[in-house]
Structure 1
């Protein structure tokens, strides 16, 4: 798969270009992030020391992109963001129902919601928007976003780095990664549900004997 020419141009600027690619991906998610990150791992890191710098650069770019979404939400405010999402959100993978769920998620631990949100596709892009509308404290928000971005970016960059000399296509690798994630999440979900049923039956049995 050939990356857009703008990506090639940006990468010619070294780590600054790598950060710019990550920033662009966060603002204009035309190509899925896992494809971009695998591609960067294949092309932007010549050695292990370079890989660490690429992780830091992409984390910085992703964090800045999230802060721009945060600033947009904070600047526009609740009503204007609601109107925009209701009218245009469905065209950018942000239906009004998802936007409201993201906002409601902040009723729980805001730091952990921000951190874990950075490792969920689509959510990682748009979660900062309601965070800005709600005017969350930008300092813990930035720290949580950076930690979450590094957690998301590093495995895909490492995968691309390990596959850089194999001739694999980043899109194909990314799709297989997604399949693996979906299968893994499904297995975990079924395991948790099965365990919950077993524990519920045990509690019910203990109650009847009591």
Structure 2
């Protein structure tokens, strides 16, 4: 089905349809989310509707993430891995990617979830291992909501700004997504280097040598 026709169909139901479209995008990744958001932005008539659309799509995306979280929590590790191994390739979820997402949660759960919501493909399936690992639900939802707004807002706003300009929204959306990912990678790399610079002086600092005890102390 043509993405523009799909958007038109959901848009006929107003903001409810927009929210449902955002939920569906989490389960049926037929086209990249930045394409969906850019095309959706082109249909927004005014600034008020832009703000409401950002809220509706963000709420829908979070509901979709909660759905994946509940699936992972209900099925457990073994059954989820079995399903991913057997059927994951049909929905762009390779077994290796699932393991990488699971391993990512060895770090800070909140930041992994937040950043994961701003990465293509990862933003769809990261909630699955989060449910399997039974992460704290409230922190997961909060991080997913913040990350979703960070991802949705630029593409919807850019699509809204490009109305009638004649520019290709898909091509522009691709470069915006690439720029966001590059910025995130630079921030993560910078934080890692900063932590290493702070830790290195401490590790290089010589241990204090105990002063010799004067002979008089033993007299």
- TM-score normalised by the shorter chain: which range applies? 0.7 to 0.9
Structure 2 CA distance, aligned partners of 1:25 and 1:61?
A: 9
* 2:3 is the counterpart of 1:7: no
Quick one: distance in 1 between partners of 2:170 and 2:18?
A: 18
Deviation at 1:186, TM superposition (A): 7.6
| Correspondence for 1:107 | 106
Q: Distance in 1 between matches of 2:24 and 2:91?
A: 15
Equivalence map 1:108-147=2 (5 Å) = 108-147=107-146
Larger Rg: 2
Write the deviation string for residues 172-202 of structure 1: whole angstroms up to 9, x where unpaired: 2223334545665787799899999x99xxx
Shifted more, 86-95 versus 15-24: the winner is 86-95
Cα 1:126/1:189, change in 2 over 3 Å: closer
**TM score, norm. by length of structure 2:** 0.80
Matches within 5 A, 1:27-42: 27-42=27-42
The change in CA–CA distance for 1:186 and 1:111 in structure 2 (over 3 A counts) is closer
Q: Which runs of no fewer than 5 residues in structure 2 stay unpaired? A: 199-219
Q: Is the 8 A contact 2:113 2:126 kept in 1?
A: yes
For the residue of structure 2 that corresponds to 1:46, the secondary structure is coil
Q: Does 1:50 align with 2:49?
A: yes
In 1: Cα distance, 2:186 partner to 2:20 partner: 36
Q: Which residue of structure 2 aligns with residue 205 of structure 1?
A: none
Aligned length: 204
Aligned-pair Cα RMSD in Å? 2.8
1:139-192 Cα deviation digits (max 9, x unpaired): 111111111100100010111011012133332222333454566578779989
Match of 1:16 in 2: 16
Q: Deviations over 1:61-98 (max 9, x none)?
A: 10001111111111111110011111222232211111
Aligned to 2:86, the other structure's residue is in SS state helix
* Bigger shift: residues 176-185 or 8-17: 176-185
Find the aligned partners of 2:87 and 2:168 in 1 and give their Cα distance: 33
The whole-number CA distance in structure 1 between the counterparts of 2:178 and 2:118 is 16
Q: Decide whether aligned partners of structure 1 residues 29 and 168 sit closer, same or farther in structure 2, where only a CA change above 3 A counts.
A: same
Match of 2:25 in 1: 25
Asked if the contact 2:4–2:39 (Cα under 8 Å) also holds between the matched residues in 1, the reply is: no
Is the 8 Å Cα contact of residues 119 and 181 (structure 2) preserved in structure 1? no
Q: Which 4+ residue blocks in structure 1 deviate beyond 6 angstroms?
A: 185-196
C-alpha distance in 1 between matches for 2:167 and 2:29:
22
